[in-house]
Amino acid sequence: MRGIAGDEGGRGLQHVGAGVKRLLAGLGVSDSAAYVAIVEAWGRIVGAEMAKHTAPLKLRNEVLWVLADDSAWASELRWSAQDIVEELEERLGTGRVQKVQVRVGR
């Protein structure tokens, strides 16, 4: 069986995975598996309407950084931060996310 770029046994996939981890680390994501799970489930975690106006930016040192469209959505997210942490504990396990930080921007 041939893998990526002619690698035998799919070793190229391992190199791609390592590259993705390096990329995410460069973007400030220290727990790439948890971050990907958060991004994929964001609408279910915060609700569809809030998900339209917010997005997880990075997960670093057990802090989830989230971008909000404006100060109103940022306030709503801050108000819900403890509930979000508890939901993430259920989904990811204890200790993966301890705090939610919010910044406003686009």
Q: Which pLDDT score, from 0 to 100, does residue 1 have?
A: 41
Residues 42 and 92 in one domain: yes
Q: Are residues 37 and 23 in the same domain?
A: no
Whether 90 contacts 55, CB under 8 Å = no
User: Position of tokens 């190199």?
Assistant: 15
Domain residue limits at 65: 31-104
pLDDT tens digits, 29-69: 456 788 999 999 999 999 999 999 999 999 999 999 999 99
Verify that 23 and 44 share a domain, yes or no. no
Which residues are paired to 64 by β-bridges?
A: 59, 100
Measured CA distances, 36 to 6, 9, 31, 59 (Å): 28, 26, 9, 10
The CATH number linked to 85 is: 3.30.300.180
Q: Is 40 helix (H, G, I), strand (E, B) or coil?
A: helix
| Pair 34, 93: CB distance under 8 Å | no
The verdict on 68 and 95 lying in the same domain is yes
Domain total of the chain: 2
pTM for the structure as a whole: 0.71
